[in-house]
Structure formats: C-alpha cells, structure tokens
C-alpha cells in the first residue's frame, strides 16, 4: 500500500494522509492521525473516510484490528517504560 502525506501540523501533533494504491477495495481514502493529552499519558485518534466497493467490515477490521491496533500496541510498549 502506498500513502501520500497531505498535511502535517507539528503544533497540533497531527498529520493527514491518503492511500494512493490500496491493496483492498476502497477509493478516496483519507485519514488524520492526531495525539491528544490524556490523564494516563496520551490518546491517539484516527478519523478517516473512504468509499468501499464491498466488504466494509473487512476494511474496518484491517485498519482497526490490524494496522492501527498493532501500531498503537508497539507505541505503548515503546513508551510505557
């Protein structure tokens, strides 16, 4: 999968990107990742939008349970020390 950085805002701890060559049946995928203060450290938020030809649940599982859950677990492990 190829992504393109569309905007970044270091002061807001956020960036916006698009998926240019998805390996699944979606078009127009754009998302924003941002980090916000939280009583237990930090909270990472993702807001995304896309059009799915089919299998929306599979796409959500791929991003939610796959890509982002694995990435957040790695961040938690790295910075929880």
The pLDDT tens digits of the residues spanning 63-75 come to 777 778 888 888 8
CB of 68 within 8 A of CB of 46? yes
27: left (phi > 0), else alpha (psi -120 to 50), else beta? Answer: beta
pLDDT in tens, 12-53: 999 999 988 777 778 888 999 999 999 988 888 988 888 877
| Two tokens, residue 11 | 């002061």
pLDDT at 42: 87
């Amino acid at each position: 999968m190829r992504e393109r950085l569309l905007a970044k805002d270091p002061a807001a701890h956020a960036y916006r990107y698009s998926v240019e060559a998805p390996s699944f049946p979606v078009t127009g995928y754009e998302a924003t990742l941002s980090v916000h203060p939280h009583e237990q450290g930090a909270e990472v938020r993702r807001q995304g939008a896309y059009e799915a030809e089919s299998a929306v649940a599979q796409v959500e599982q791929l991003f939610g349970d796959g890509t982002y859950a694995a990435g957040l677990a790695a961040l938690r492990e790295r910075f929880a020390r």
